[in-house]
Amino acid sequence: MTATATRVLVLNSGSSSVKYQLLDMRDGARLAVGLVERIGEGSSRLAHTPLATGGEQRETEGAMADHEAALKAVAAELAADGLGLDSPELAAIGHRVVHGGLKFTEPTVIDDAVLAEIERLVPLAPLHNPANITGIRTARALRPDLPQVAVFDTAFHTTMPEYAARYALDVETADRHRIRRYGFHGTSHAYVSRTTAALLGKDPSEVNVIVLHLGNGASASAVAGGRCVDTSMGLTPLEGLVMGTRSGDIDPAVTFHLKRVAGMSEDEVDELLNKQSGLVGLCGDNDMREIRRRIDAGGEDGARARLAFDIYIHRLKKYLGAYSAVLGRVDAVAFTAGVGENAAPVREAAIAGLEEMGMAVDADLNARRSGEPRLISPEYARVAVAVVPTDEELEIAQQTYALVSA
């Protein structure tokens, strides 16, 4: 890396998509952002916004057969703005990798051995790790000399004590099949818990925070002095909170029942719990804006949406209670991601009635819209309630840059 290399390209490769951001690490500024969708399908689409030049979003449609074609198209777009992958200013590429197992507790420079280990984890994240691996392989082929760093969604949770991470299953079976609670959204929980501490003017080591990452996927974490001590997602992202399309916590015997009594196959049960449950299963919608609109419209349809909302909130309250007990002392609750950052009614309802736990929300502060981290609790409240916009790309870029510039 040259002394002038201050840019990091962040890649988030999905099975048929690649999201990317190019950041300048001197100030965290975004130079370009974009998304390729429908890779491997007839009509792929690349949307690229060159923020550095103040240019408009450019859209390209056309077949991109695979991730290599997609990344080459991204590289061409970046090059058109003078931000090409061959630029000496590019310090590294940071890859989001969903599953790092127990092995990867930190961001890691990728070599052949690291890649092989990420492959060994495919059975634990069959939908995500293969796409991440494809993105890494393609990027390495394009710039073999450039450091490439894997930043793992599970890493922040590897500090969980054994009694929080282990299921009460037969130990030998669990260990043989690597069954334990890993947790996900770790990059977001790390970023948001640290930013919440900064908002309180404290060092992360001084505060205990409950982070509620409420997006289409949703997870809670209990962070004590900057270290994760519990989180709601488990072996897979299915456990925990009610999500857009996932059930979250459920009696595992429901799955036996669905197979034995309803005659469903393994794949059908998987599809039901991951894609057709949660808010969508309860009321047909997974967009919180639409759910609130239906509640406000009233009637029978509104009652159905209300029940979905109430189930969602009830689960949130249970986790707030559980993690308050786990932490002993809570300094802050931080809401983040699409729902957490935007849905004031969710924040209000989740905290309502928790005054005895020191938690309250100020209606005016809660109603205010802003893209900045902010407090929404009244001054008298013992526990700070905050809204903290998450920024997983910035966190990945910072972790990547810290590693390659050390």
Sole binder of ligand AMP in the list 89, 249, 287, 348 (CB under 6 A): 287
Residue placing its CB nearer to ligand AMP in the complex, 222 or 344: 344
Residue placing its CB nearer to ligand AMP in the complex, 60 or 342: 342
In this structure, what DSSP letter does residue 121 have? T
153 belongs to the catalytic site: yes
Tell me the C-alpha distance between 215 and 275, whole Å: 15
Site string for ligand AMP, 234-273 (x = CB under 6 A): ----------x-----------------------------
Contact (Cβ atoms closer than 8 angstroms) between residue 34 and residue 400: no
Site string for ligand AMP, 197-226 (x = CB under 6 A): ------------------xx----------
Residues pairing with 8 in the sheet: 23, 92
Shortest spacing between CB 290 and ligand AMP, in angstroms: 8
Distances in whole angstroms, Cα of residue 80 to Cα of each of 49, 50, 264, 317: 12, 9, 52, 50
Shortest spacing between CB 347 and ligand AMP, in angstroms: 10
Residue placing its CB nearer to ligand AMP in the complex, 77 or 285: 285
Site string for ligand AMP, 327-366 (x = CB under 6 A): ----------xxx--xx-----------------------
E-state strands within 179-289 = 208-214, 218-224, 227-231
In this structure, what DSSP letter does residue 96 have? E
Question: What residues have CB less than 8 Å from 95, skipping those under 6 apart?
Answer: 10, 11, 12, 13, 110, 132, 135, 136, 139, 148, 149, 150, 151, 396
Q: Which two tokens stand for residue 103?
A: 């092995």
Tell me the C-alpha distance between 194 and 332, whole Å: 11
The verdict on 125 binding ligand AMP (CB under 6 A) reads no
Shortest spacing between CB 319 and ligand AMP, in angstroms: 17
* Catalytic annotation, pick one of 24, 153, 230, 331: 153
Residues involved in catalysis: 153
- Using CB under 6 A, list all residues that contact ligand AMP: 215-216, 244, 286-289, 337-339, 342-343
